[in-house]
Amino acid sequence: MRQSFRFEEIAKTALIFGLVGPPIGGIAVTLIAMGTAGIGTIPVAIVLSYIFGFVPALLTGLVAGIASQRLDRTGAFVMVVASGALFSLLFTVLTGDRQDAPLSIEPETLKLTALPGAISTLVLVLFIRRKV
């Protein structure tokens, strides 16, 4: 019989992801988009990262909190990193204001949303929340 969810652990994981994930993603976006020439813009990217990254990071943290309690380590790891990429991509696509093709996903969109989402999730899972 499975134990019930530990909601405090889920909430704590979601909060950690929501607070720590966006700056990691912001740094990743800056370096992906501008390379080392963008290093001077990292402080601005960190501030802006909470606007674009808090909701996806929080949702990813919820997935991480639940997955760590229900799946084996490998399954949880794969699910959490994939959800980080997916939530980042979906948030950007669904909140964009493009009239010409509002739900189009171009390679540049993937590179600047899903990849940083996956990178920040990977860093969080490997170095901060090792339980996943």
3-state secondary structure of 103: coil
Residue 23 belongs to some domain of the structure: yes
Q: What is the pLDDT of residues 55-73, one digit of tens each?
A: 999 999 999 999 989 888 8
Residue 61 belongs to some domain of the structure: yes
What residues contact 75, with CB distance under 8 A and at least 6 apart? 67
Residue 2 belongs to some domain of the structure: no
Torsion, Cα of 12, 68, 76, 3 (10° steps): -140
Better-scored residue on pLDDT, 108 or 86: 86
* pTM for this predicted structure: 0.86
Distance CA(85)–CA(2), nearest Å, equals 29
Q: According to the model, what pLDDT value does residue 2 have? A: 60
User: Is pLDDT above 80 for 122?
Assistant: yes
Residue 123 belongs to some domain of the structure: yes
Percentage above 90 pLDDT, the chain? 62
Number of independent structural domains in the chain? 1
Q: According to the model, what pLDDT value does residue 1 have? A: 46
Task: Identify the domain containing residue 37 by its residue range.
Answer: 7-128
What are the backbone angles phi and psi of residue 130, rounded to the nearest 5°?
Answer: -70, -5
Sign of CA dihedral 31, 36, 41, 43: positive
Residue 62 belongs to some domain of the structure: yes
Residue 100 belongs to some domain of the structure: yes
Residue 96 belongs to some domain of the structure: yes
Angle made by CA atoms 88, 90, 96, in degrees to the nearest 5: 100
Residue 1 belongs to some domain of the structure: no
User: Is pLDDT above 90 for 88?
Assistant: yes
For the chain, the farthest-separated pair of C-alpha atoms sits apart, in whole angstroms, at 55
